[in-house]
Structure 1
Amino acid sequence: MEGYDMLEVGTKAPSFTLPDQNGDMHSLEDYRGKKVLLYFYPKDNTPGCTKQACGYSERAPKFEENGVVVLGISKDSIASHKRFEEKQGLSFTILSDTELEAIQAYDVWKEKKNFGKVSMGVVRTTYLIDEEGVIIEANGKVKAAEDPEKMLNLVENM
């Protein structure tokens, strides 16, 4: 992932409208007046993604106490997200981006190498967006198991 570019802190977060695990539509504008933690992950029900999602789910009440809405996004289908939510008991919204609308807008669709094979995929990335829709934190090359606690610490110390 050489030259991994991300959206910069201080820039306006790209708008999106995507369905959640129940098929309900969500747009970034729906959350004006609240901070939004937007995390992009590669695939439902894989070890790293499960650790990350469960970490966010466990900490969801603390994020809420700090006025932060957690939204996970991957290119998996609504049905896949529903199975993931039910299997893991997730307590936050996960959005389905099968058309790569937000994934490409947030610049997380990248060339990846896995066991020497090159393919395109979602690079695990977390953005924190303020109440006005401006990116105030951008983390690339995220470690799945550490991300939820790292972001909660950041939010609690703002």
Structure 2
Amino acid sequence: MSVELTSVIAATTRWLLRAYPPVGGPLSAALAEAQARQAVTVAAWLRYPTSLDAGLVSLLGPGGSHRLDALVGARVDLDPADDAWRSWVDESVASWAACLLGEPALAEAAVAAAAAGEHGSQTPVRFHRLTAPDDGDRSAAGLLRHPDLLDRVAALYRDELRDRLHADPAGRP
């Protein structure tokens, strides 16, 4: 994984888990985090496909979570201690990750595209929790994978993701 994307991936994963919390105990939390991290990693690799792109977002910053917080109804008086990590949330990456979590066919196409890119070719990784979740994964991430709940966030950049993947509107590549 590109070192430049580490902060974006960590912050955006954290944001998704706060917006769509796991159901259950510590094991469910770990399973939901693995799914969110895989979706965010694939989305970040697609959004910033080269080391140069990743370096630029690292230098300029991704923009933060303000609009996303408003979309999911986060409290206006968010804890100021969270400002540092929230500033590294990438709105487009969160939107693309939401698309991948809610649309299995799109997730398959995205993983294939990411694997063929610069980041994927440097680090061969299987994203099975994203593309082939088992019953435990689905149960742990019920909110995180619910298409209706994800739609506000996913709709922000869904068309751009489909364009990137050359997919049709139904999500088929």
With the shorter chain as reference, the TM-score category is under 0.3
Indicate the structure with greater strand content: 1
Indicate the structure with greater helix content: 2
TM-score (normalizing by structure 2): 0.26
